[in-house]
Structure 1
Amino acid sequence: MPYDVPFRHQQALDPSALTTITSGLHALSRAIDDCRNAGVSLEADAAVILLARHLGTLTKSMPDDAILRRRATESIAELQRFPALLTLAIRGVAYDAAAKDLFHADGRRAMHKLAAALCLPDDSYSIRSNRSGPAASGEITLHGEEVWVQLSLGALGPDYEVSFRRVRGRDDHLGDRRRFAAIRELLNPERFAERVRRELRLAPTSAERVTLFG
């Protein structure tokens, strides 16, 4: 076995430095490559088996299967509604004109759904896109009489793709303090609209007035 190396066996015997799934997978992947280079069966290699088992120990402190299965099911439902938008939020659209086109098209559709969930009259808001430069995603903005919502893949990273605040008219571009939400919240427009109305203390919709005073 002239191309075999002892490093994977050393890591397998003392994997204490492999404290994350990423580092564990990297070590396992390198061990598999070593086996292939040496012509060793990776299915029977002791180091590969030990490193694979170590991956299991790294997940013991994580949520149990029932919680993870529920999250996976919810993710599937989200991806079925807006598969491209969620994927693009993860991978980014910088320097990819086709991806940016898709991001802005799906982003505008998501904003129209949010406007409907907020019961905004058609003539009371605008939805605009700012494509920005090739290195950035740009922004899609919903601007109404009381509410401003913006979608952007900015520097704040995951779970901060959506920002929203209360405004005083459609000429108000500063508004009150910004709040943040994950893009997956925007893709559930009814639930997100409830959060926006609650946190910004928006005026009740016609349907809510009927419920309150009817």
Structure 2
Amino acid sequence: MTYDVGYRFAQALDPSGLDTIAACLHAIQAAAKDCRNAGKPFESDPAVVLLAQHLGAVATTTMPDRPALRTLCGDALAEIARTPLLTLLAARGVDHDADAKRTFHTEARRALKRLADALHLERGRYDIRVCAGGPAVSGEVILHGDELYCQVSIGGFGPGEILFRRCRGRSDYVGERNHWARMTELVDHVRLAARIAREIGLACLPESQPRLVA
């Protein structure tokens, strides 16, 4: 196999075709590969440094100035803080992204545990499990109790990410009629608990528990 280990120098001297951030990043990555092929250090390579400086120049001309960028980053962080992680994952999807899928399973388990507490389900009278599925799907996180089956998934076949129905024990995987809720409703687990209890006829909430008005 032959390597064109000199190409990075020619490109660094004439980067006229590198007019986007994506193109510049690709050139820097290719230059790093050339360095490995030539057995040269990456950090001190003059072609890599020139290409990195060109990237900075392109970014300066295509984006707002530094103070404006810092403001935009701060605004983005504030928006992320206002948007729960489960809602973000539901919006973007987790298929073919192992890290996002693993995060979804963890967050959904926590959310279902809070829902079980809001429903005053006794420990030992329900379980929470994960059906991971293949890489192209989110899998399902399931809360299964003596009277409630609740399943959370992303990109399912129903009109929402949360399916819930009344069941007759933890061996009942069919249950009664399906009900649906959006992922955003799982964030307010107390309100969702009241809705579930009302719609499927659970009697597990105490009288002091607020209930939704039909």
**TM bucket by the smaller chain?**
0.5 to 0.7
* Conservation of the 8 A alpha-carbon contact between 1:82 and 1:106: no
Distance 1:95 1:149 in 2: 24
Aligned to 2:148: 147
Shift of 1:209: 8.6
Q: Does structure 1 residue 178 correspond to structure 2 residue 163?
A: no
Distance 2:175 2:144 in 1: 11
Unaligned runs of 5+ in 2: 1-77, 210-214
State which structure, 1 or 2, has the greater radius of gyration over its C-alpha atoms: 2
Aligned to 2:107: 106
Sort the Cα spacing of 1:81 and 1:200 in 2 relative to 1 into closer, same or farther, 3 A.
farther
Distance 2:98 2:128 in 1: 21
Distance 1:167 1:105 in 2: 25
* Conservation of the 8 A alpha-carbon contact between 1:82 and 1:187: no
Give the alignment's Cα RMSD to 1 decimal: 2.4
Q: Does structure 1 residue 203 correspond to structure 2 residue 208?
A: no
TM-score normalised by length of structure 1: 0.57
Shift of 1:82: 6.5
Shift of 1:154: 2.6
Higher helix share: 1
Distance 2:174 2:196 in 1: 17
* Conservation of the 8 A alpha-carbon contact between 2:121 and 2:204: no
Alignment of 1:83-162 (within 5 A): 83-156=84-157, 160-162=160-162
Sort the Cα spacing of 1:203 and 1:100 in 2 relative to 1 into closer, same or farther, 3 A.
same
Counterpart code for 1:177 = R
* Conservation of the 8 A alpha-carbon contact between 2:84 and 2:187: no
TM-score normalised by length of structure 2: 0.57
Counterpart code for 1:179 = H
Distance 1:142 1:183 in 2: 15
Distance 2:82 2:142 in 1: 20
Aligned to 1:169: 169
Deviations 1:163-199 (A, max 9, x none): 0000011111100010110001111100000000000
Aligned identity (percent) is 45
Higher mean displacement: 148-157 or 159-168: 148-157
Tell me the SS of whatever aligns to 1:136. Answer: coil
Give the length in aligned residue pairs. Answer: 133
